[in-house]
């Protein structure tokens, strides 16, 4: 799948029933993430889906995010090849934060994109 073939969605177009999948590393997630998102670091996605997929199912609308969209584009392509309905969040967490959307941090401090 070529990068131009990976479907994307803008922050203001995310379906209300979409499952948000954050594929950033643990320290990035802890600094700031979307409330209610599922966190699975990129390199753990195949294993996690094999033993504990949670809400990440082939029938769910999945929006994948990382910091700027590169890692999430790779995960989106992989998920689509496996039969999942996945799209990449255009601009990633930087776009989410830039749109003024709420984030939360682990430990209760101010959230930021790391």
> Which residues are the active-site residues?
66
Strand partners, 61: 85
Question: Is 59 within 8 Å of 79 (Cβ atoms)?
Answer: no
Angle, CA of 29, 35 and 39, to the nearest 5°: 40
Q: What are phi and psi of 47, to 5 degrees?
A: -65, -45
Structure-block tokens of residue 25: 């590393």
């Amino acid at each position: 799948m070529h990068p131009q073939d990976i479907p994307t969605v803008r922050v203001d177009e995310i379906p209300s029933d979409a499952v948000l999948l954050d594929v950033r590393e643990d320290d990035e997630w802890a600094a700031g993430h979307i409330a209610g998102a599922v966190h699975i670091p990129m390199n753990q996605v195949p294993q996690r889906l094999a033993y504990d997929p949670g809400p990440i199912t082939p029938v769910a609308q999945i929006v994948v995010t990382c910091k700027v969209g590169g890692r999430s584009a790779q995960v989106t392509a992989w998920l689509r090849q496996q039969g999942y309905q996945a799209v990449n969040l255009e601009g990633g967490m930087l776009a989410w934060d830039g749109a003024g959307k709420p984030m939360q941090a682990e430990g209760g401090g101010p959230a930021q994109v790391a």
